[in-house]
């Protein structure tokens, strides 16, 4: 396994510190000493990305699609070595890693298929009217072009699907942007293996050198330097609010600010409506005990807040959920830091005024476990204390007992931006659209009678939302439309046809759907 | 004419300072003492915008379209009073104001037509696959929703088309966002009249109170307070780099950052290629003398930098352009501040090393004139001195004499982001795509054999570009797609059909084109 930084096609030695992967299940040191990138490596990688941008963006859609597919193939070829390493570095079971690998390959292949169709180019043509009065109308043609080199930050909780060859990388490469990945320090070996796969694919597909680089750091300085570098045009990040905001602030303070799409998680509020609680309290409790503890609660869509109207039904639900949850075994979290923070923050919640413990899994004397916990509080206390609105990343959820349905609306009003909001209700509960409508103001995705965990990768998915769920509610991090984060429109006025990009010429040789004088059509002009 | 601040449907007195309109042609005071909004007014206007947002966004597309059309009708009804006042406050001739009014009405009506079609909602539906292995696929449906209250800053150089009822206001209202306009202090009377028109339209169309407010300030504090207010969700601005960047910085530092689309102008570089210069030097010079001085150079697309390859042909062009330009009379600029800054900055350019005066119009002893000027410099000096890259807002252009076509490419590389880039070339000049391709990296719009002034309002227009042309190259400020700045996607998962927004229900009762399981169709499910 290569432990040096990958700068274009070259693996380079760095002069400074080293770090290594750790198995969170036993804190054991894993093979490989990874080199923290230095200033020279950061500059060189950015320069190579910039230098190859013109060439890479001119690659044909088909060549770029083949490149994405070849990355998927190369990742598959890594076989069990990748699964084992990812599992060792994250504590996630092999089956989960295999599933996540499937999603990662699917994402790469979905982007390949999408860019072959060409809809992401959004071609629009308004033909000239030379004899228009009082002045002639020029010929205008517009399409989306790639922004430039994109920095992607690997996420700890998706070591494959939102890491080196994850959704952000796939979207940026599909758009025509070179990618610079800052590997997550908790899974350097997984990153190295996937980086090798991308490198092999880039070389065998004759992509220009610089289209991909992979840099290591177990601190913050490499990431900060990348986001501040003048060659960089955009940033994709999935992680904590503190981390995402820090990168956003660096980007906003640049001489030339650049867009940062940071997906920073959420408490994913759930609203239990009265009839549903009467009719299927047990079923809901069972589903939620699973959802809260799925993947040791380490999903950005983990349900961290559950709202219901105080009373016997809610009490029954709370009891049932507590019982189910207490049966769930504590399991290993992604890394020491996450486990420590989870333990601190969940216990800290218990020290807040009015917060009561409902249930907690048994204590087990083992490293880095996430011990599932449910707490409860009343709505008055919830509204008073902003700490209770914060995400506790891990297998934790707090049930907010509201005095009335009207008080539930006040809680919605007080919520910050969220990735998701869930409504559990029967037909009788859902007559009043106010709750749905108010909740839709705060979220990117509204879920009915389900759990927020599980993010379907499809065009109609929205994964993002008002701040602090993300830094820009206008974009999604999941699905083919996530490519929009990394593209910009360029218009051509009175451009001679042979000089136009192929997709904008009169003859529609690529067969891409275009809007021509207001009509959506596959025809040539 | 109302000189008080319009807060929702109410005109409110403010406690603080007053200011008045000035005729820049003679510095004469115009009627009307306008009240600078105070904190109470800012808060109240923001609160009203927030309070009405839920109601306004639920208005039907047709009701909202009628509202936009009614605004256009009410502006028309203002008749000559508006034209005279706008002309007095800006020094722009009545004919220009009448033309700009036409454009303003057209923009409002174009947005009305566009939202009736409904494509801006971008509906996307992926139906469920309940028996999918290993897990069922949920039903997901996504559409664009309005962001929330938008603050619009009136621009001095388009007192109608980019001011109170200009492109930003039309886009935001069309999206379903309430609008808070900060009137430009150079045309308060024009703003007041148009504000009245919008207010009348809002009332007669039964729009909710708060959908529109109009606030005055001849300083910066009202604008700053609006951008910082928690109820505000986005900002539209057209103006100087300093002004746009200041607002961007305030928005980025908020606890919840919000998107600012600031269009901040540009030097709009023009590249004169050798054969074109040989064949039609006179014609090009004539066109450019007009373009540089059109509207006293007060367009964000004014051609401020012209590049050519040193030699007899370029010398001839420079001479001809100088002669034509010297014939153009100096005319009144928009206001004292702009005229003063123009005079300072154009003269300052003459003091830069290597910069030579080519031509300047005759001096006339009159207030606030913009005296057209052409300078020239060689490419080596241009590359050395960043001051020469800055915009001089007014009838000014600098010809950069390049040693060779290769040196022209170096100049492109050194340019900052631009709204437009223009290539003047004959067939023989345009064989090499490198210049076109490199220039496309820096601009929002590429123009061939034309002038950058004149921004056609059509769907294929892109008016924006890489920083500092705008704060976000991914959006346009002109044309129907400018609505994208103010909308965000929201997904509904497994939502019972009657609870879905109408456009996402199985039955396509609105007849809007939707993407259903990957197919673009008008059909119902």
- Report the pLDDT value the prediction gives residue A15, as an integer from 0 to 100: 86
Residue with structure tokens 């300078």?
Answer: B375
pLDDT tens string B182-226: 999 999 999 999 999 999 999 999 999 999 999 999 999 999 999
Q: Which residues of chain A neighbour B469 with C-beta distances below 8 Å?
A: none
Average pLDDT over residues B260-285: 96
Compute the distance between CA of residue B173 and CA of residue B150 in angstroms, rounded to an integer. Answer: 9
- Report the pLDDT value the prediction gives residue A16, as an integer from 0 to 100: 85
- Best probe of the A interface among B458, B460, B464, B471, by most A CBs < 10 A, is B460
Q: Which of A53, A445, A490 shows the shortest C-beta gap to B446? A: A490
Smallest CA-to-CA distance from A148 within A54, A83, A73 is with A54
- Report the pLDDT value the prediction gives residue B365, as an integer from 0 to 100: 87
Which tokens go with B225?
Answer: 């307070």
Q: Is B165 strand, coil or helix?
A: coil
Q: Which residues, other chains included, contact A56 with Cβ-Cβ below 8 Å and sequence gap of 6+?
A: A176, A177, A178, A207, A208, A210, A211
- Report the pLDDT value the prediction gives residue B259, as an integer from 0 to 100: 98
Scan residues 147-186 of B and list those with Cβ closer than 8 Å to A.
147-148
Compute the distance between CA of residue B321 and CA of residue B323 in angstroms, rounded to an integer. Answer: 5
What whole-number percentage of chain A has pLDDT above 70?
100
pLDDT tens string A234-251: 999 999 999 999 999 999
Residue with structure tokens 């959506």?
Answer: A520
Catalytic residues of A: 263, 300
- Report the pLDDT value the prediction gives residue A515, as an integer from 0 to 100: 96
pLDDT tens string B42-93: 999 999 999 999 999 999 999 999 999 999 999 999 999 999 999 999 999 9
Interface residue A481 vs chain B (CB under 8 A): yes
Neighbours of B452 (CB within 10 A): 26
* Å between B444 CA and nearest CA of chain A: 5
Please judge whether B54 and A499 are an interchain contact, meaning their C-beta atoms are less than 8 angstroms apart.
no
Q: Which of A125, A137, A462 shows the shortest C-beta gap to B491? A: A462
Rounded to the nearest 10°, the torsion over CA B204, B206, B212, B216 is 40
Stretches where chain A sits below pLDDT 50 are none
**In chain B, whose CA is at the least distance from the CA of A114?**
B518
- Report the pLDDT value the prediction gives residue B432, as an integer from 0 to 100: 77
Compute the distance between CA of residue B505 and CA of residue B525 in angstroms, rounded to an integer. Answer: 8
pLDDT tens string B121-168: 999 999 999 999 989 999 999 999 999 999 999 999 999 999 999 999
Q: Which of A142, A433, A481 shows the shortest C-beta gap to B499? A: A433
Q: Which of A458, A487, A499 shows the shortest C-beta gap to B430? A: A499
Spell B496-508 as b/e; 16+ CB within 10 A means b.
Answer: eeebbbebbbeeb
Numbers of helices and strands, H then E, in chain A: 13, 23
Compute the distance between CA of residue A475 and CA of residue A175 in angstroms, rounded to an integer. Answer: 15
Q: Which of A142, A437, A492 shows the shortest C-beta gap to B54? A: A437
Spell A491-523 as b/e; 16+ CB within 10 A means b.
Answer: bbbebeeebbbebbbeebebebbbbbebeeeee
Interface residue A417 vs chain B (CB under 8 A): yes
Please judge whether B491 and A430 are an interchain contact, meaning their C-beta atoms are less than 8 angstroms apart.
no
A61-90 vs A94-117: helix axis angle to the nearest 10? Answer: 170
Please judge whether B257 and A460 are an interchain contact, meaning their C-beta atoms are less than 8 angstroms apart.
no
Interface residue A428 vs chain B (CB under 8 A): no
Radius of gyration of chain B (CA): 25
**In chain A, whose CA is at the least distance from the CA of B117?**
A518
Interface residue B311 vs chain A (CB under 8 A): no
Compute the distance between CA of residue A109 and CA of residue A165 in angstroms, rounded to an integer. Answer: 12
- Report the pLDDT value the prediction gives residue A22, as an integer from 0 to 100: 97
Interface residue B448 vs chain A (CB under 8 A): yes
Return the bridge partners of B308, or none. Answer: B401
pLDDT tens string A388-440: 999 999 999 999 999 999 999 999 999 999 999 999 999 999 987 899 999 99
Band of the pLDDT at B16, cuts 50, 70, 90?
confident
Catalytic residue among B69, B100, B209, B263: B263
| pLDDT for B120 beyond 90 | yes
- Report the pLDDT value the prediction gives residue A321, as an integer from 0 to 100: 98
Q: Is the pTM of this model over 0.95?
A: yes
Q: Does ipTM exceed 0.95?
A: yes
* Structural domains for chain B: 5-22+30-264+475-485 (3.40.605.10), 270-448 (3.40.309.10)
pLDDT tens string A169-202: 999 999 999 999 999 999 999 999 999 999 999 9
Compute the distance between CA of residue A168 and CA of residue A173 in angstroms, rounded to an integer. Answer: 9
Average pLDDT of chain B, as a whole number: 97
- Report the pLDDT value the prediction gives residue A433, as an integer from 0 to 100: 87
pLDDT tens string A126-152: 999 999 998 999 999 999 999 999 999
- Report the pLDDT value the prediction gives residue A12, as an integer from 0 to 100: 97
Radius of gyration of chain A (CA): 25
Compute the distance between CA of residue A300 and CA of residue A452 in angstroms, rounded to an integer. Answer: 9
Catalytic residue status for B411: no
pLDDT tens string B88-111: 999 999 999 999 999 999 999 999
Q: What is the DSSP string of B418-472?
A: EEEEEEE--GGGGG-THHHHHHHTTEEEEEESS-S-----STT-----TTTTBS-
CA distances B12 to B37, B39, B207, B216, B348, Å, are 9, 12, 20, 11, 44
**Residue A374 phi, psi (nearest 5):** -120, 135
């Amino acid at each position: 396994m290569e432990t040096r930084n990958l700068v274009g096609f070259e693996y380079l030695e760095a002069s400074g510190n080293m770090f290594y992967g750790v198995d969170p299940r036993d804190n054991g040191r894993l093979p490989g000493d990874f080199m923290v990138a230095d200033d020279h490596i950061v500059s060189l990688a950015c320069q190579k990305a910039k230098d190859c941008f013109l060439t890479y963006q001119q690659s044909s859609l088909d060549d770029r699609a083949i490149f994405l597919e070849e990355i998927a193939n190369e990742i598959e070829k890594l076989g069990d070595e990748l699964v084992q390493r990812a599992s060792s570095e994250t504590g996630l079971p092999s089956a989960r890693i295999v599933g996540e690998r499937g999603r990662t390959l699917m994402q790469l292949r979905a982007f390949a298929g999408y860019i072959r169709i060409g809809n992401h180019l959004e071609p629009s043509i308004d033909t000239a009217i030379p004899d228009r009065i009082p002045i002639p109308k020029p010929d205008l043609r517009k399409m989306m072009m790639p922004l430039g080199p994109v920095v992607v930050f690997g996420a700890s909780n998706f070591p494959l699907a939102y890491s080196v060859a994850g959704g952000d990388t796939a979207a940026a490469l599909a758009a025509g942007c070179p990618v610079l990945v800052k590997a997550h320090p908790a899974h350097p070996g997984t990153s190295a293996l996937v980086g090798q796969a991308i490198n092999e694919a880039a070389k065998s597909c004759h992509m220009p050198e610089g289209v991909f680089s992979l840099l290591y750091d177990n601190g913050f300085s490499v990431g900060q330097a990348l986001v501040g570098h003048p060659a960089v045009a955009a940033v994709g990040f999935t992680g904590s609010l503190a981390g995402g905001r820090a990168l956003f602030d660096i980007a906003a303070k640049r001489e030339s600010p650049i867009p940062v799409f940071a997906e920073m998680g959420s408490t994913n509020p759930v609203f239990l409506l009265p009839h549903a609680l009467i009719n299927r309290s047990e079923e809901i409790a069972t589903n939620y005990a699973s959802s809260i503890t799925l993947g040791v609660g380490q999903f950005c869509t983990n349900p961290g807040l559950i709202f219901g109207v105080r009373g016997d039904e809610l009490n029954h639900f709370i009891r049932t959920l507590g019982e189910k949850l207490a049966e769930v075994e504590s399991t290993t979290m992604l890394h020491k830091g996450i486990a420590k923070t989870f333990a601190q923050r969940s216990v800290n919640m218990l020290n807040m005024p009015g917060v009561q413990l409902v249930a907690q899994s048994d204590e087990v004397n083992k490293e880095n476990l996430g011990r599932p916990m449910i707490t409860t509080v009343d709505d008055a206390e919830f509204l008073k204390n902003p700490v209770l609105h914060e995400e506790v990343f891990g297998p934790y959820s707090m049930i907010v007992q509201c005095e009335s349905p009207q008080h539930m609306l006040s809680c919605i009003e007080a919520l910050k931006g969220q990735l998701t909001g869930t409504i559990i209700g029967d037909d009788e509960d859902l007559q009043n659209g106010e709750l749905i409508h108010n909740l839709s103001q705060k979220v990117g995705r509204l879920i009915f009678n389900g759990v927020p965990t599980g993010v379907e990768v499809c065009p109609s998915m929205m994964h993002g939302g008002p701040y602090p769920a993300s830094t820009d509610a206008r974009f999604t991090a999941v699905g083919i439309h996530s490519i929009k984060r990394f593209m910009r429109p360029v218009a051509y006025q009175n451009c001679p046809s042979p000089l136009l990009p192929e997709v904008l010429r009169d003859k529609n040789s690529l067969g891409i759907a275009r809007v021509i004088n207001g009509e959506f059509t596959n025809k040539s002009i």
